A = this chain, B = another copy of it.
Amino acid sequence: MHGYSHGVSEIVVMKFGGTSVADAQRIKRAAARIVAKREEGKRVVAVLSARGKTTDELIAMADEVSRAPDPREMDMLLSTGERISCALCAMAIHDLGHRAISFTGSQAGIVTDSSHTKARILDVRADRIKAALEEDHIVLVAGFQGVSTTSKEVTTLGRGGSDTTAVAVAAALEAEECEIYTDVEGVFSADPRIVPGARKLDAVSFEEMLDMAASGAGVLQLRSVEYARNHGVKIHCRSSFSDAPGTVVIEESETMEQPLITAVTHLTAEARITLVGVPDEPGAAARIFDALADANVNVDMIVQNEPTSAGGKAEISFTVPDEDLRIAREALEGLIGDAFTEIREGAQMGKVSIVGAGMRSHPGVAAKVFRVLADEQINIEMISTSPIKISCVIPREQVPQAVRALHEAFELQAEQTSGIGR
């Protein structure tokens, strides 16, 4: 129809989030963007989320009819939102003179396990997508959902699911890249709302992105970055409201240079729990964190100190999001006197992290972080490190001050002359 189907053209996967398909105007804008990519000669698969508030509205309806909505039915309910986005976008693309076809997660071959509301992708059987691309269709895939391999039930992937759908489809199709469109321009050296001079990053490595996502950079979901790293999918994170290039997430060897520090990230809704009197014997920590996992508590940083005397007791501290604090306490209360003697809580905590692949070969980074925070009179409550990340738990109200100080100390700000790039 448009003459692109002869010869092999590269496949690009484009993912649009809820704000990018929130209403008819935005759906039309996404459609125009998809068509423009097609007209560049690419074959295009677009993965869409549910429109703006649709998912919240559906959840509210479920809460109205049931005190504890069944997960299987919740998936039947919530999976309708992305289907609506995809059908509408396909219609809008037709109106621009191109062929398009929308697929549900099941039709797209997104095969998952049977864990309703938090299913994991097991396989992408992309035959139907490939056939549609061969027939010169633009393919729209409903994000966030799949079909369970054993019981043929509709499943949903949980938070960040649509990003993961996009990356998984890109992997299955061996796409040139997976573009994730959001309402920000890319990944920044720090949150621009806190650090006005923050720099948009042209490229970060998977490892950096994983540590950044885990420590507060909200642009990409951890799961989708993990999937991309494991399957070698190049992610391009960019704005749906601008044509400027965003941030590319790629294998480390491909990055052009290796800066010492890439970004400063932060979290502000952290609570600390300290368990006192943990016996220094095998299995104590396992019992504690099994109980927390069973209660679906999202445990972040874990620090354990050594017992101070032979046969003595240890202290274990960890952080959880504020919203999980109550459930965590309830899950642990049954273990008092058994796995530990006392629970202490510290609310109003925050976390600041610096991330950078170059850190591996520069031993002095941690010392510099501690000195910068000390100069700012910020007390560090907990420390945890990975080969490319240093995280410090600090009082919540001092988080913005810490982010600005670290961003300046490691010279991450945008250059006056260029403004963008590194």
Interface residues of A (CB under 8 A from B): 24, 27-28, 31, 58, 61-62, 64-70, 72-74, 76-77, 80, 83-84, 86-92, 94-95, 100-102, 104, 107, 152, 154
**B65 adjacent to A92 (CB under 8 Å):** yes
**B67 adjacent to A95 (CB under 8 Å):** yes
Q: Interface centre among A31, A66, A86, A101, by most B CB within 10 Å?
A: A66
Given A65-B91, A66-B92, A66-B95, A77 and B73 touching (CB < 8 A)? no
The smallest C-beta distance from A57 to any residue of chain B, in angstroms, reads 10
Q: Which of B61, B73, B84 contacts A80 (CB 8 A)?
A: B84
Q: Which residues of B contact A100 (CB under 8 A)?
A: 73
**A73 adjacent to B90 (CB under 8 Å):** yes
**B61 adjacent to A73 (CB under 8 Å):** no
Q: Is the interface of A mostly helix, strand, loop or mixed?
A: helix
The smallest C-beta distance from A89 to any residue of chain B, in angstroms, reads 8
Q: Which residues of B contact A74 (CB under 8 A)?
A: 87, 91
**A76 adjacent to B72 (CB under 8 Å):** no
Copy count, this protein chain = 2
Q: Which residues of B contact A28 (CB under 8 A)?
A: 65
In whole angstroms, how far apart are the Cα atoms of A27 and B66 in the complex?
A: 11
Q: Which residues of B contact A91 (CB under 8 A)?
A: 62, 65-66, 69-70, 73-74, 77
Q: Which residues of B contact A154 (CB under 8 A)?
A: 104
List 22 interface pairs A-B (beta carbons < 8 Å), by A numbering.
A24-B65, A27-B65, A28-B65, A65-B88, A65-B91, A65-B95, A66-B91, A68-B94, A70-B90, A70-B91, A72-B101, A73-B87, A73-B88, A73-B90, A73-B91, A76-B86, A76-B90, A76-B102, A76-B104, A77-B87, A77-B91, A104-B154
Q: Which residues of B contact A58 (CB under 8 A)?
A: 84
**A94 adjacent to B70 (CB under 8 Å):** yes
**B88 adjacent to A61 (CB under 8 Å):** yes
Q: Which of B66, B87, B94 contacts A94 (CB 8 A)?
A: B66
Smallest CB-CB separation from A79: which chain B residue?
B83
The smallest C-beta distance from A104 to any residue of chain B, in angstroms, reads 8
**A62 adjacent to B88 (CB under 8 Å):** yes
Smallest CB-CB separation from A91: which chain B residue?
B66
The smallest C-beta distance from A150 to any residue of chain B, in angstroms, reads 14
| Given A68-B95, A77-B83: 12 more A-B contacts, CB < 8 Å | A24-B65, A31-B65, A58-B84, A66-B92, A68-B94, A69-B94, A73-B87, A76-B83, A76-B86, A77-B88, A80-B80, A80-B83
The smallest C-beta distance from A416 to any residue of chain B, in angstroms, reads 44
Q: Which residues of B contact A72 (CB under 8 A)?
A: 101
Smallest CB-CB separation from A66: which chain B residue?
B91
Q: Which residues of B contact A24 (CB under 8 A)?
A: 61, 64-65
Q: Which residues of B contact A27 (CB under 8 A)?
A: 65
The smallest C-beta distance from A281 to any residue of chain B, in angstroms, reads 43
The smallest C-beta distance from A105 to any residue of chain B, in angstroms, reads 12
Q: Which residues of B contact A31 (CB under 8 A)?
A: 65
Q: Which residues of B contact A68 (CB under 8 A)?
A: 94-95
Q: Which residues of B contact A67 (CB under 8 A)?
A: 95
Q: Which residues of B contact A104 (CB under 8 A)?
A: 76, 154
In whole angstroms, how far apart are the Cα atoms of A139 and B71 in the complex?
A: 16
The smallest C-beta distance from A187 to any residue of chain B, in angstroms, reads 31
In whole angstroms, how far apart are the Cα atoms of A66 and B97 in the complex?
A: 11
Q: Which residues of B contact A64 (CB under 8 A)?
A: 24
In whole angstroms, how far apart are the Cα atoms of A177 and B420 in the complex?
A: 70
Smallest CB-CB separation from A153: which chain B residue?
B107
The smallest C-beta distance from A113 to any residue of chain B, in angstroms, reads 19
The smallest C-beta distance from A206 to any residue of chain B, in angstroms, reads 35
The smallest C-beta distance from A67 to any residue of chain B, in angstroms, reads 6
In whole angstroms, how far apart are the Cα atoms of A379 and B94 in the complex?
A: 51
The smallest C-beta distance from A100 to any residue of chain B, in angstroms, reads 8
Q: Which residues of B contact A73 (CB under 8 A)?
A: 87-88, 90-91, 94, 100-102
